[in-house]
Chains A and B, each alone.
Chain A
Amino acid sequence: MNVETISKILRTVPREKAFYFFTSIGNYTGVSASSLKEFMEKINEVNVKSLEFHLYRGDFEKWINEVLEDKNLAEEIGKLQKTGLTGDEIRNQLFTTLSKRYNYLISQ
């Protein structure tokens, strides 16, 4: 993976491209993330209902793929959809997957 690609994945995106956490249709929590690092941090603090809502709609996978442009990470997140996890299990699994990828990217 070249430096350019890594920088792109780790960049801060403009607010209109940020990820906005909702708990259900139209109900915005006030929590958003503009980078992979911030996304990872917010996963630990946002209401677990929001994690369930977005994971099973495929929103996390879509944002990581289309905005951060990290296809590998998007695939890993997509796999979590099939596990049927709920509650804090989702939080733990998401955080583990994201931090593993983040640590790999910054070590390159």
Chain B
Amino acid sequence: MKLKNNILALDTTDLKILEALQEDAKQTYTAIGKRLGIAHSTVYDRIKRMEQNGIIKKYTALIDAEKAGTKSITAIMTIYTDPKESERVAEKLCNAPEILEVYTSLSEELLIMAKVVAENQESLHTFIANSVAPLPGVLRIRTSILTKKFKETQFSIVNESKKLTFIKGTHNIKGEK
């Protein structure tokens, strides 16, 4: 782990620690150390540095909303905006608790894509009509209500590890020297 232009450059050990945490963030430093063949203090130091540098943003729990008995619907909004206002629209959306994710997209027109959750169709519509459509710069909105989830995963550091291997050319596909 080295600092390059104030950016933390991760080595293979860091990536393996991240991979282990992505599998199970509740496992102990000792367990991770044992798995990687390094001291638990090394695991601790590296995790702390990655936390301090914002590489590890937070530890959270993946909840199965259905099993938790929460009745809600999820939808994807595609918001066509005036390019001059799109940043402001995206920022405003970020402040709404109903909005889970916000992205901008470059296609033929400048779009904002946002994932929104609501109790039911009526509350979804009320939210969009009262809080999204009136935002200055919103030109029109297309909303798709999601009906069935086929896959949901987090970004995997394993893939990033493979990419780094390719760029540096000093590691094999498993990220080992």
A29 at the interface (CB under 8 A from B): yes
Is the Cβ of A30 less than 8 Å from the Cβ of B140? yes
A21-33: contact bitstring with B at CB < 8 Å (1 yes, 0 no)?
0100111111010
Q: Judge whether B77 and A16 touch: CB under 8 Å.
A: no
Which secondary structure dominates chain A's binding surface? strand
* Structural contact, B121 and A25, CB atoms closer than 8 A: yes
When the two chains form their complex, are residues B125 and A30 in contact, meaning their CB atoms are under 8 A apart?
no
Number of residues from B at the complex interface, CB < 8 A: 20
Complex Cα spacing A29 to B142, Å = 9
| Complex alpha-carbon distance, A29 and B125, angstroms | 13
Cα–Cα, bound, A104→B143 (Å): 39
- CA of A6 to CA of B18, assembled, Å: 67
> Which of B20-28, B55-63, B129-137 forms part of the interface with chain A?
B129-137
Whether A20 sits at the interface, judged by CB under 8 Å, is yes
Q: How far is the CA of A25 from the CA of B129 in the complex (A)?
A: 9
Q: Give A89 to B106 CA distance when docked, in angstroms.
A: 40
Question: What are 8 residue pairs bridging A and B, where the CB atoms are less than 8 Å apart in the complex?
Answer: A15-B136, A16-B130, A22-B128, A25-B121, A25-B124, A26-B77, A28-B132, A28-B133
